Amino acid sequence: MAMILTLLIHLFLFTLSTASSSIHDLLTSRGLPAGLFPKNGVKYYELGEDGLLQVYLDRPCVAKFETRVSFESVVRANLSYGGLIGVEGLSQEELFCGMLEKNSRRDFGFEVDR
């Protein structure tokens, strides 16, 4: 019974922490740029104790940074200070020698898996 109560308390505190701060606040607190995700497109996010970050967007979208970046409706990555590792749900297209190329390495300081 005590284990269930402890689990519920952790879940409640986790929900409070993700509801009370934005994804942009979380990113800056972990040494990342606040603008990695669309400002008005994020519904909510979940950050597990193991560092797994799941960001839920209103819908898939495309953003323009230095290149075109496509976001799926859910983006997952392992969050560490200054980095997102094993990113899923995000892709970037670059124009290289007049040809459209999809890369798996990004200039954002993290790696994207296809």
Q: Is the pLDDT of residue 112 over 60?
A: no
Higher pLDDT, 111 or 85: 85
Longest CA span, the chain:
63
pLDDT tens profile 1-35? 555 434 444 444 444 344 448 999 999 999 999 98
Higher pLDDT, 102 or 32: 32
pLDDT tens profile 47-83? 999 999 999 999 999 988 788 899 999 999 999 999 9
Alpha-helical (H) ranges within 21-70 are 23-29
Q: Which of 69, 28, 79 is nearest to 49 (CA)?
A: 79
The helix/strand/coil state of 14 is: helix
Distance of alpha carbon 6 from alpha carbon 32, whole angstroms? 31
